[in-house]
Chain A
Amino acid sequence: MNASRLRVLNPAGSPQVINGEGAKRPRSLDGLVVGFLDNTKNNTDRILAGLEEAMKATYGIKSLVEVKETSNRPADPDLLASMASRCQVLVTGIGD
């Protein structure tokens, strides 16, 4: 073996990709309760309010709006569980 050849170790990690499946999607939105989870980023409340208004007009949805404590942390699991028990669809954001 050539003396100048070195053996070095790979310093990187690999993404630990999980293969999961999402929730079943509804065929129609008519009459469904849509939850809006506001992450507190500036203007998120207004964008979600506009979206809620237009979705009510377009799809006849009912709505439920909650605000998480901060965009920099996960939503409180109790809040998510509570929303899951009261709505059939959830809109989150805004990733920014």
Chain B
Amino acid sequence: MSWSVHDSIQAEKLGIPTVTIATDKFAQLGKFEARVLGQRELPIVVIPHPIVDLNPEAARALGRQIATQVGEAIQGKVPSKTVAEEVQFRAAEQPDVLAGDAGELEETFWANGWSDGLPVVLPTEDRVRSMLAYSPCPAEAIIGAIPPFWAPCTVKKIAVNAVMAGCRPEYLPVVLAATSAILQEEFNLYGVQGTTNPASPLILVNGPLSRELGFNSATNCFGQGCRPNATVGRAVRLIMTNVGGGVPGSVDKSTVGHPGKYSYCVAENEPMNPWEPYHVERGYRPEDSTVTVFAVAGPHDVNDKSTTAEGLISTLAQAMLPVGSNSVFFGSEAFLALCPQHAALLAREGISKAELKQRLYAQARTPLESLSQGNREGVIRWRPRCTEDQNGRKMIKLVERPDLINVIVAGGPGNHSLFAPFWRSRSVTRRLELEEGRPARSVTDFVPGKKIS
């Protein structure tokens, strides 16, 4: 929905009157987006949802039925519909500082939807001030505009949400870097915020600060129980919801969502990685610390008890391209977290990370004919270059190039690796830097003279 409205507005700016067609479940979001983007009157013709399962003749007939509506909308004869007033504009009505006792304030936060559904830590002025001490830039510096509100997001606003999420002050540089990363155009946050897909930012932390701050990269690292993982991921989600307006239902249209939408943050297990750490592969130095974001669906366990690298690679290749997953439809990139045992098995047989990617690229294929007609059609329209002829059959590839497969090492003892199907997005890495752009080597660099407890 979001990008069709965006396209129409771009055309209107070029002087071409438009009509956008939307289904009834999404039209309200479209009207809201048009309003925010400056086209309150943008005509949207509404058809019944869903359209995906219409048979070909019914789809054509539906098109014929709306011809008069579209014609009149083009000529401006349709009275402009009211804008999506129910989409929250409440923030604008609230003061910057709210006062009350804890119970009253907690109720205000619940009433305004300033939560992910779990209780939040109240962002008192003192707590926010302590958090801001770790900012590499001034509190009023703007990190970017968060869609679909396109609200300029200050460091202070990020700190407020980080306090609410339960972050310690010294986590702030990681939250800032992650927020900056999701705002890069190639990440496609505008799409992530409104899509029916369960895609959500997965945050990967690398380098010495990941260990200094205590991120979990080992046993249960994608699970519960570790404050940095839990609260940094949660802070980014709260920022997307509170500052960006990604409220479930009105803007966040994810059909089913997934639990990682509460928090989805992990560190790489660099000590157990037999190859170079992920961030080094992306061109950073081992002593740099980085944050990388991936727009992915929920994690998928890969339980493999192979005794050879060949066996393991075969399992991974089959697991990473299951029919019905995002991997089939998008193929923008792939994300694989190898557990240390699986990584060690590969390394023992002398397989480099590059060779692993090459072999996964070559082996992760699914016959196009194994998809049902509607899915085949979707894949061909969305990924026209995704298939390759192999022994007379058209095979869908996982990705277009081996280097689009992201491989990290994470987890503790056991034989469970993990992959997460990618959405239409590209991963983005940000280095943790001090104000002057110097790389941070320790979290204490942000607060000279102060020791973290």
Query: How large, as a class, is the contact surface on chain A?
Result: 35 or more
Contact with B along A25-54 (1 / 0, CB 8 A): 111110000110101111110111111111
User: Is there contact, CB below 8 Å, between A8 and B98?
Assistant: yes
Find chain A residues with CB under 8 A from B377 CB: 42
Find B61's partner among A50, A71, A92, A94 (CB 8 Å cutoff).
A50
Contact between chains at B60 and A46 (CB < 8 Å): yes
Q: Is the CB of A81 within 8 A of B112?
A: no
Q: Is the CB of A13 within 8 A of B153?
A: yes
Known: A10-B94, A52-B63. A95 touches B99 (CB 8 A): no
CB pair B91–A14 under 8 Å, yes or no, is yes
State whether A43 touches B52 (Cβ < 8 A): yes
Over the window 65-79 of chain A, the binary record of Cβ atoms lying under 8 Å from chain B Cβ atoms (1 yes, 0 no) is 001101111110100
Could you give, for residues 39-77 of chain B, a 1 whenever the CB lies within 8 Å of some chain A CB and a 0 otherwise?
111101001011110101001111111111011001110
Contact B16 A87 (CB under 8 A): yes
Q: Which residues of A contact B151 (CB under 8 A)?
A: 13-16
CB-defined contacts of B19 to chain A, threshold 8 Å: 89-92
The docked-state distance in angstroms from the alpha carbon of A24 to that of B41 is 12
Cross-chain contact B243 with A95 (CB below 8 angstroms)? no
Interface residues on B, range: 35 or more
Tell whether, in the assembled complex, residue A58 and residue B149 are in contact, meaning their CB atoms are under 8 Å apart: no
Q: How far is the CB of B153 from chain A (nearest CB, A)?
A: 6
What B residues does A42 contact at CB under 8 A?
51-52, 374, 377-378, 381
> How many Å from the CB of A56 to the closest CB on chain B?
9
Query: Chain B contacts of A71 at CB under 8 A?
Result: 3-4
Nearest neighbor of B69 in chain A, beta-carbon distance: A51
Is B114 interfacial (CB 8 A cutoff)?
yes
Contact A95 B122 (CB under 8 A): no
Q: A84 — which chain B residues lie within 8 A by C-beta?
A: 11, 14-16
Binding site for A on B (CB under 8 A): 1-8, 10-23, 25-27, 29-30, 35-42, 44, 47, 49-52, 54, 56, 59-68, 70-71, 74-76, 89-92, 94-102, 105, 109, 112, 114, 122-125, 128, 145-146, 148-153, 156-157, 160-161, 164, 188, 191, 195, 238, 242-245, 330, 374, 377-378, 381-382, 423-424
Q: Which residues of A contact B (CB under 8 A)?
A: 2, 4-29, 34-35, 37, 39-44, 46-55, 57-59, 67-68, 70-75, 77, 80-81, 83-84, 87-96
30 pairs, A vs B, C-beta closer than 8 Å: A8-B97, A9-B98, A9-B123, A9-B125, A10-B98, A11-B109, A11-B157, A12-B90, A12-B114, A13-B146, A13-B244, A13-B245, A15-B36, A15-B89, A15-B149, A18-B36, A21-B39, A22-B17, A25-B74, A28-B75, A41-B51, A47-B62, A53-B63, A54-B67, A73-B191, A74-B6, A89-B17, A91-B21, A92-B21, A93-B21
